[in-house]
Amino acid sequence: MSPHQPSPRPSAPLLFVNARLIDPARGSETRGGLLAVDGRIADLGPALTAQNAPDGARVIDCAGDVLAPGLIDMQAFVGEPGAEHRETIASATLSAAAGGVTTLVATSATFPAVDDPAVVDFVLRRARDTGRVRVLPMAALTKGREGKEIAELGLLQQAGAVAFFDGARSVKNALVMRRAMSYARDFGALVVHFPQDPDLAGGVMNEGDFALRLGLAGVPREAEALMLDRDLRLVALTGARYHAAIVTTTLSLDALRAAKAAGLPVTCGVTINHLTLNENDIGDYRTFLKLRPPLRLEDERKALVAALAEGLIDVVVSDHDPQDVEMKRLPFAEAEFGAIGTQTMLPAGLRLVHSGDISLPKLLAAMSSRPAEILGLEQGRLQKGAPADLIRFDPDEPFVVDPEKLHSRCRNTPFDGALLQGAPKTTVVAGEIVYERAS
């Protein structure tokens, strides 16, 4: 199956019946069925039942489960090339499929970096040959992700890059960033940036009383806010499309609210970890919760959730970052940053639905239709003619996260042993079932 196009070989029609159909693109919810033919949604609505299934169709009775567009994860590390010991495209896409993610947007933080059209082509070919879901590569904004010289954005876009991102490295030089934005604007390209001043961000967790008690160096909120303020001023100067990869503080939210009110072409994302966890969850030096940027105070977490419900925050990402056990079984200050997340992103997000902080269609929009809009994709909607990228799940079905049952090559989940709800039952890409949970 190609990561970009529906399978060229004909597949049997799929008919889902007795489903709770949620289209986050329109915020609608209905009961009924959905028919997928030749990789696309052929029909949907209350009139579709098992009795009027087309000849040869496979009928799946959802028994009231949610049927929604597959998730689009805008930030995930897939390991290839160069870090296959941490993850491969095969393992990353299996983990994604098990989490209901039908499109993975791969970061450029590979070895070598995705800063050459040949590397973009390599990722696309590996995804075609070994991937279960669609894989869309982001290319580096600067050569080698070093923040010194702009990458060949035009050639990289022609090769198939969907956006430009240096990963968890900020472009420190304002002139380089201005030139990159101006160049990207000329190609209509999306600049994705990790807003964190590296000179201020030398710590390992959120700066504050808890870090002092643990004896750990902190990262102040201002490290993020200062870099974001600079970026937003450069957006106003250049007119480039800009996406703040991860925001974690009310300082950033205030700046983004003003930028959006001024009509600037800016969007932003937040990780599922920063929406559902806070610095206190680090507890007794739990290295699986050592993240970049760090988990913040509970008041900041609540502000992020409110901003997501409001629509100020556009996208929820997993920030899937596998780290092998040797890099996490170290003292907290020495352990590597990062956590896996594609397989638990949706169930963790459903915590916010069950607490009444956000509606299910709104959560799904931030994980599917809104990323599709930002990236210019067809996916993310339940409408006739749309790609049949689908997910079926029961949002109330409980389970306990067992790291040994996760499909990533690494086990550094912040939700180890957590009680969650809503693990996907079926994941469909281009009309083909790519994951089906055993009963």
Query: Which positions are annotated as active-site residues?
Result: 319
> Which residue is listed with tokens 């966890």?
277
Cα gap 16→168, rounded to integer Å: 40
Amino acid in the structure at residue 138: M
| Cα dihedral 133→138→139→141 (10° resolution) | -170
CA angle in degrees (0–180, nearest 5) for 355-359-363: 100
Quick one: tokens of 176? 């380089």
How close are the terminal C-alpha atoms of the chain, in Å? 26
Q: Residue 51 CB: number of other CB atoms within 10 A?
A: 7
Q: CA–CA distance from 234 to each of 193, 239, 256 (Å)?
A: 12, 8, 13
DSSP, collapsed to helix, strand or coil, labels residue 10 as coil
| Cα dihedral 229→230→233→237 (10° resolution) | -160
